[in-house]
């Protein structure tokens, strides 16, 4: 087995450092910020450590060297704290505070020398990347308020740095540092976005699969099971078995309708349901009145909402066919209010007593369950020998008619 190359070992070490030993993964919510905290603290340690040595050994500036040394110690302590606590919120603010305070002290000590104000220009994007809009704004204000006070107090006293070759070096280094910061931010943000889209797609697929399995179990599966038991019952007629199979076929077709793209067109949805059930209604000897107003589109309604709506209307109509002993049935769909759709199914059948034990056995509990999923109100008004009226009130966000 080949040993990892020096480059591969370096990549593994870098990933280990920037992810706190794998504690933060690319698909995680805090991966981007954790990545930036580690990168900025490591960079701060390198910069502050280097300038501590340079100020002591080359520039002989003991005062600035002590500031760099203190900033190096603070950055190292913050890195150790983050890798042990993994507290993203607190570590983000600590990192921002260390860098901002070091810049502020450096500006005060050097009095514009080495282009301190230019380095300060890199601070706002860094603060916003780590802390977000609100806390980033607070961090920027905490840094720049003292800066402006210092500028006003020392106006006419501080001298700008001479434009020399070292000035170009400083500006170039600042540009490179800012470019690297933005690059790593965009890279981590892109990785987080890709992972988030993947997770959302996987969750949507899993949700749709579970929905279809539940519908197959409650609808198609139940009808086929009933048909199977009927074939094993010697007293069951061919017409009864055919009726059960017809119900199963209708359930399958409604499920297929629910898998199609739904654009919020409830009128068409109800029209499809009428096409599926009208033959059964006629065979039952019922006179059907179907009145659907010119409804707007409802873009906020999901395919699952559409299927629940279909199921409620379907089960109401089927219950009427099976149990109501009615001669007339009507469906009315109209806007009750600007953002409320009302669908009402009424029959002139025998009605029933909702206090009797048989009430819950008519599939009505399933109607209420689907109404809750639809975030709708369901009312059932019925009395023995006086028919039944089922009203569904659906709060929806709509658009204008196209």
pLDDT tens for residues 7-56?
777 778 877 887 888 888 776 778 778 888 888 888 889 888 988 998 89
Name the pLDDT band for 358 (thresholds 50, 70, 90): very low
Q: What is the percent of the chain where pLDDT is above 90? A: 14
Q: Residue 69 has what pLDDT? A: 92
pTM: 0.46
Strands in 287-292's sheet, in edge-to-edge order, are 287-292, 328-337, 340-347, 388-395, 377-382
Q: What is the percent of the chain where pLDDT is above 70? A: 78
| Mean per-residue pLDDT of the chain | 79
Please provide the distance, in angstroms rounded to a whole number, between the alpha carbons at the two ends of the chain. Answer: 66
Assigned CATH for 264-402 = 3.30.565.10
How many other CB atoms sit within 10 Å of the CB of residue 210?
Answer: 10
Give the bridge partners for 388, in sequence order.
Answer: 347, 382
Contact 143, 103 (CB under 8 A): yes
Contact 108, 153 (CB under 8 A): no
Q: What's the CA angle centered on 320, arms 317 and 322, to 5 degrees? A: 110
Dihedrals phi, psi of 392, to nearest 5 degrees? -120, 120
Contact 348, 382 (CB under 8 A): no
Q: Residue 327 has what pLDDT? A: 92
Q: Alpha-carbon dihedral of residues 22, 27, 31, 35, nearest 10 degrees?
A: 70
In the chain, which segments carry CATH 3.30.565.10?
264-402
Question: What is the sign of the dihedral through the CA atoms of 312, 315, 320 and 323?
Answer: negative
Q: Residue 335 has what pLDDT? A: 92
Q: Residue 109 has what pLDDT? A: 78
Rounded Cα gap, residues 26 and 190, in angstroms? 10
308 pLDDT above the threshold of 90:
no
Q: Residue 363 has what pLDDT? A: 61
Rounded Cα gap, residues 68 and 46, in angstroms? 11
Tokens 């959302």 belong to residue:
200
Name the pLDDT band for 311 (thresholds 50, 70, 90): confident
Q: What's the CA angle centered on 238, arms 225 and 231, to 5 degrees? A: 35
Name the pLDDT band for 236 (thresholds 50, 70, 90): confident
Taking the CA atoms of the chain, what radius of gyration do you get in angstroms?
A: 35
Q: Among residues 212, 401, 163, which one has the least CA distance to residue 299?
A: 401
């Amino acid at each position: 087995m080949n040993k990892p190359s020096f480059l591969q070992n370096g990549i593994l070490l870098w990933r280990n450092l920037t992810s706190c030993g794998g504690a933060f993964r690319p698909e995680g919510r805090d991966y981007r910020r954790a990545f930036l905290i580690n990168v900025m603290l490591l960079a701060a340690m390198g910069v502050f450590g280097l300038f501590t040595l340079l100020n002591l050994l080359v520039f002989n500036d003991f005062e600035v060297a002590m500031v760099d040394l203190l900033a190096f110690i603070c950055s190292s302590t913050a890195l150790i704290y983050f890798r042990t606590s993994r507290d993203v919120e607190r570590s983000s603010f600590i990192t921002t505070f260390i860098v901002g305070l070091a810049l502020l002290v450096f500006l005060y000590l050097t009095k514009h020398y080495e282009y301190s104000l230019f380095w300060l220009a890199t601070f706002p994007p860094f603060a916003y990347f780590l802390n977000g809009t609100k806390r980033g704004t607070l961090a920027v204000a905490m840094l720049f308020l003292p800066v402006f006070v210092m500028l006003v107090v020392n106006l006419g006293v501080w001298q700008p740095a001479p434009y020399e070759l070292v000035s170009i070096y400083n500006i170039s280094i600042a540009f490179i540092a800012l470019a690297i910061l933005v690059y790593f931010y965009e890279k981590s943000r892109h990785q987080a976005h890709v992972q988030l889209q993947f997770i959302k797609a996987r969750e949507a697929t899993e949700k749709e699969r579970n929905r279809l399995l539940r519908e197959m179990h409650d609808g198609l599966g139940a009808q086929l099971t009933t048909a199977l038991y009927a074939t094993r019952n010697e007293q069951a007629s061919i017409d009864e078995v055919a009726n059960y199979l017809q119900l199963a076929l209708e359930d399958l077709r409604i499920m297929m309708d629910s898998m199609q793209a739904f654009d919020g067109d409830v009128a068409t949805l109800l029209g499809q349901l009428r096409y599926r059930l009208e033959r059964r209604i006629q065979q039952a000897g019922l006179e059907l009145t179907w009145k659907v107003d010119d409804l707007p589109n409802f873009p906020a309604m999901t395919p699952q909402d559409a299927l629940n709506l279909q199921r409620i209307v379907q089960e109401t109509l089927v219950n009427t066919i099976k149990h109501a002993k009615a001669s007339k049935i009507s469906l009315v769909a109209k806007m009750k209010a600007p953002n409320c759709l009302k669908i009402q199914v009424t029959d002139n059948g025998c009605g029933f007593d909702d206090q009797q034990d048989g009430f819950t056995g008519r599939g009505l509990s399933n109607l209420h369950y689907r109404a809750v999923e639809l975030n709708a109100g369901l009312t059932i008004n019925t009395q023995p020998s006086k028919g039944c009226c089922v009203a569904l009130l659906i709060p929806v966000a709509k658009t204008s008619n196209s």
